[in-house]
Structure formats: structure tokens, C-alpha cells
Chains A and B, each alone.
Chain A
Amino acid sequence: MRHLIDILDLSEKEITDILDLADDIIARPARYAESCRGKKLATLFFEPSTRTRLSFEAAMYELGGNVLGFSEASSSSTAKGESVSDTVRTVGCYADIIAMRHPKEGAPLVASAKAGVPVINAGDGGHNHPTQTLTDLLTIRQKKGRLDYMTVGLCGDLKFGRTVHSLICALSRYAGIRFVLISPPELGVPEYIRNEVLEKKNIPYKEVHDIEEAMAELDILYMTRVQRERFFNEADYIRLKDSCILTSAKLKDAKEDLCILHPLPRVNEIATDVDRDPRAAYFDQVLYGKYVRMALMLKLLELA
């Protein structure tokens, strides 16, 4: 039985297979409309999320399956003190597959050992969010036609932003990838990403503090939100949240075929006037997220 806890659980070929399947679902959705008939997805969200949970649920409904679950820890038996292991062992008796978000890092790994059904990590604290990475990869491949030979700018909260860490790990496997890390010094990528991924694999990267410094060389610009919930200290959050903001004016030197991504939700890091720019791909990204989750569930359920 396969689970998806970390994007690196998937080989390059498995990622290609999932993206190819997502492409086919986009091209021929009717073919998959009954693929999960009789199957149930449990969405166990111990932490609030709108987008990811609804994306999983929409994906399962579009495959003809059903959904059960909860959307916050207070409405689960965790509020009574139940362990993650016991909760998933119980839910594994009701559902065929589990998508789980939890504020504690590693909770989905614990769940995968106990559930008896495939477990998908839908975000564990500031750690991993592999289905967002699959979403990002599908969006990049749809927009650029490839996943290699690109300069990728990552902007905003690179310290706590789990989507950034997973995306760096995933793209590091492809040839010709170069990263530009754009953040205030306090929110730079963690040491382990720098030492054990970028430097160990000899992946070229540079760090800048101003989004305009790097704009002209980027093929992909991946914006992230400075997340209030990742800070212990409100004063630090307020001081740093506005430091990396994208506006239309800042795009003046950008390439014609730049692709602007954002895992959403945004607060103010992308001005709304950028939404009208044809290079803004973040709402397409939301749609691709549903398709790639459909593809992933079909693969984990061994239905495709």
C-alpha cells in the first residue's frame, strides 16, 4: 500500500505518471466520472483549511466517490484527548483513503503506519505539503511544457513556507534548474534546505532581498504568504509581512512568458492588479490542484 507523506516518496517517474494522468483527466473528464464509484475519502483536517480540503472533496466527487470527515480538531475526538494513531485506525474502518492535515509535523507519517488505508499528507505544520507540490508541478508543466531548464524565483516566507521547501526538493531532481531565493534575511530558507539539498546537489542558487533585483531572469515566480500562524511573536509578523510584495509595476522587466504562481490564500503579497496580467497563473493553479488530486487518489487506490 502506498501513501504520500513527502513529495520525495514519489520517484521522478511516478510524478510524471501522476501528471500524465492529470493531463488525461483534464482532456477527458467524463472518462473518470465513475472511477471511484463506491469509494469514500475521509478528510481529517485537524487544522482549518478551505482550499485544500475542498479541493480534495471536489476531486473525489468528480471521480464519483463520496466524502466524510471533519474540518477542525474541536469537532473530532482529538478534543477528548484521542491520539492520532487511534483516530486514523478508527477512520480506516470507514474510508478507503484518508487526506489529513494536522498542525503537528509528522502526524501523517504516524497515521500512515496505523490507518490500514492509503494516507495523503494534506499539510503537517510547517513541514510538508506534497499535494501542493504536485499542483505546482502540474501548473508549471501545463504553462511551460517542461519541468527542467528554468530559473525559479521563490519569494516571501521561505523559512516557514512548507510549499517552498517541498517545491525546492521536487524541482531539484530536474536538470538545469536554478533558484533565486527572494526574502528578508529573517525569512530565508532553513539551513537544511541550503546544505542538504541545494549545496549537496550542486544546484545553482542566489539569495536576494528585493523582488525587482531578480525579476528579469525568472521563468517562474512563486510567491508565498508570510503566515501569521507560523510566528510565535506578533511583532515579528507585523514587521516582516509586507517585505515581499508583487505589483504590476514590479513586473516591467519580467519575461513575456513568466509564470506567476502562489499556493493561496494571498493576503497582500500580490496586488490585485496583477490578476489581470496574463502571466498570473495562480487561479489556474487552484483548478490544476483538483485535477492532480484526482490523479493521485486514482493512483493510490490502484484504480489507474
Chain B
Amino acid sequence: MIVNPITDGIVLDHIQAGRAMEIYKFLNLGSLSCTVAVILNADSVKMGKKDILKICEPIELDLAVLGYLDPGITVTYIKGGEKVRRVHLSLPDQVEDVIRCKNPRCITSTEPDLPQVFRLADRDSGTYRCIYCESKAK
């Protein structure tokens, strides 16, 4: 299988195998007019199997949200065929309007205009908690 190199765009590498489509949908890549390559189950020395997304356009990415979805992702920005920047993601300290609190006793259940904010409570276990009621993100 041959996927052409990118001239200007972004490569999301080291995506956990099987999660590329979830990230594709979350980033709404289907709405782009440029070429987007979705590579599933590629061989990886480090991970065994991995997914890769290649986007042939320098779009804006919310790296915090991407880090929440999969903190192992490597983001490489390419310009003029050269790698100009590489970012190793990590779990963000806080995410807003990504997760919804499911606790029926939480104030967000009756005041829907409130931002849904979750804060990283424990980096080791990747646990996020609602800032209002401290319920664990599910």
C-alpha cells in the first residue's frame, strides 16, 4: 500500500489501533475537501499495531482535546514537504465541553448552559472529574 507523502499538512501518528475513526469523527475530518488518509492497523515497533491519520491541509487542531482522546498520539506538522514541528501529546489538565456529566444530582443537569468542565484528578489513572460535582468521567 502506498500513501503519498504530504507537502503541507498534519500527520497524527501512534494512534491506538482501532481509534482512528473515532478521532476522524471527533475532528470532523469528513467535512474537509482535502485528501485525508486513514490508515488502520499499521505495523509499529513500539505499539505492535497503530492507526495513522494524514491530513493534506494545515488545519487548526485542539491539542488538549486530542490529548484527552489519546495521549499517546504524535502530531507532526509538515510544510513544503519538511517536518517543521512535532508535538507529543499528554493528558490535558482540563477539558471543556468534551465530556458530559452524567450525575443526575449535578448542577449541569438542570442548568444546561453551563460549560461542561472536567479536570484531571489523577494523571496515573487518567481520571477526569466534573469540576461541579466531582463525578468521574465515563
Contact = CB atoms under 8 A, between A and B. Distances in A.
Among A83, A105, A107, A127, find the residue whose CB has the most chain B CB atoms closer than 10 A.
A105
Nearest to A109: B132
A84 B108 CA distance: 11
A106 B129 CA distance: 12
A109 B134 CA distance: 12
A84 B110 CA distance: 10
Interface residues of B, number: 20
A67 to B, nearest CB: 25
A105 B114 contact: no
Interface string B25-51: 000000000000000000000000000
Contacts of B105: 103-105, 125-127
Contact of B113 (A83, A106, A107): A83
Contacts of B132: 105-107, 109-110
B107 A104 contact: yes
A84 B133 contact: no
Contact of B121 (A85, A102, A104, A196): A196
Contacts of B106: 104-106
Interface in A170-222: 192, 196, 200
Nearest to B122: A196
Contacts of A105: 103, 105-107, 132-134
Interface in A94-114: 102-107, 109-110
Contact of B134 (A103, A104, A107, A127): A127
Nearest to B133: A105
Interface in B100-138: 103, 105-111, 113-114, 121-122, 127, 129-134, 136
B111 A127 contact: no
Nearest to A106: B132
A85 B108 CA distance: 12
Q: Which of B107, B122, B127 has the most CB of A within 10 A?
A: B107
B134 A192 contact: yes
A107 B130 CA distance: 12
A192 B136 CA distance: 9
Contacts of B113: 83
B104 to A, nearest CB: 9
B91 to A, nearest CB: 16
A102 B113 CA distance: 18
Nearest to B101: A106
Contact of A110 (B109, B111, B121, B134): B111
Contacts of A102: 107
10 contacts: A83-B111, A84-B107, A104-B110, A105-B103, A106-B108, A109-B131, A109-B132, A110-B107, A127-B105, A192-B134
Interface of B: 103, 105-111, 113-114, 121-122, 127, 129-134, 136
Closest 6 CB pairs of A and B: A106-B132, A105-B133, A104-B107, A106-B107, A107-B107, A106-B133
